[in-house]
Amino acid sequence: MNGGVPLPRLSIGSLGGTVSMQAAAPGHAVRPTLGCDEQLAKVPQLRHMADVEVATLGLLPSASLGFAALLDVLAWARSEVERGAQGVILTQGTDTLEETAYFLDLLWPFDVPLVMTGAMRAASQPGNDGPANLLSAAQVALAQGSRGRGVLVVMNDQVHCAAKVRKTASLALAAFESPGCGRVGDVVEGAVVYRQPPGLRDVLPLPHRIEHRVALLEVCLDADTALLQAVAPLGYEGLVIAAFGAGHVSGSWAALLDQLASALPVIVATRTGSGSTARATYEFAGAEIDLQRKGVHMAGQLCPRKCRILLWLLLGTGEQTALQSWLSQ
């Protein structure tokens, strides 16, 4: 209670990652050891902001998370909302944070915000950022202006939408950006300031199968086609290409994509890290006009890693015919 007013209910789940890591002794390397209760103990003011429920859902580095595990996490988060949570927070490692956030965003049906955060410095390191990020995440999760925005990523007092955010630095504290569009908000002296109102959201149903696989290949100078030729024989049901520039591949890759695109959905995205694929500028063999004639989908603004997630979920829900409309958003 806060002056006789019931506190809002906030659910926090921990998956592991750097925010949960510390060294066993000075000079030793860090590994995941801190559960959700121990993370929360470093931010005592949270107990005065909300009626907090905590759950340690895992102690994994985020590179070891998978789609099946994320569906279990989603089920936990949904159940927390159905039990009355007014905000949900997930802490995890930053290596795959941009991907897990987008995965969950595509399936999050509530106006209640789902906020994801982590840390770039382990709990035993000087200047560790985990407690500050968790506090900011709670302020975002409880803010009225966060409702209807789906999954949000909060790091370094900045708020990013799941579809745009990327980890752009390996070790720096300011490791997250939304290239081309910028963050959607900031946490300023504990208050959440958004730059624009929430927009309309499309949400996918839960996948009814999870055994299918989508390949992700990156083009590079003088790359051979051996891996590309192996995609269909190995049983992959979809393919994403991280392509040159505005969405270009070599002539030899284009010839193979002509065959592949008739058998499975193929998306070409840009490997550059910022900007969109083109649609109607270049016409040489392997350029976007040529690839679209072959039945290849151009990713637009969506990065290759998120294209793979989108295609995996569309295949799992049987809605792959809607792929182009999703890429056009």
Q: Delimit the domains of the chain by residue range.
A: 9-194, 214-327
pLDDT score recorded for residue 329: 85
| CATH fold match for the domains 9-194 and 214-327 | yes
pLDDT score recorded for residue 99: 98
Architecture of domain 214-327: 3-Layer(aba) Sandwich (3.40)
Distance, CA of 286 to CA of 247 (rounded, Å): 9
pLDDT score recorded for residue 112: 98
* Integer angstrom CA distances of residue 10 from 47, 53, 142, 192: 10, 6, 8, 17
Domain 9-194, CATH number (from 3.30.230.10, 3.40.640.10, 2.60.40.3680, 3.40.50.1170): 3.40.50.1170
Which one-letter DSSP state was computed for residue 261? T
pLDDT score recorded for residue 40: 94
pLDDT score recorded for residue 24: 87
State the alpha helices, DSSP H only, in 194-240. 226-230
Letter string b/e over residues 196-232, b meaning 16 or more CB atoms within 10 A of that residue's CB: eebeebeebeebeeeeeebbbbebeeeeeeeebeebb
pLDDT score recorded for residue 3: 61
pLDDT score recorded for residue 27: 85
pLDDT score recorded for residue 26: 87
* Nearest alpha-carbon partner for 238 in 260, 214, 218: 214
With a cut of 50, list the residues of the chain below it in pLDDT. Answer: none
CA atoms within 13 A on the CB side of 159: 30
Contact 16, 59 (CB under 8 A): yes
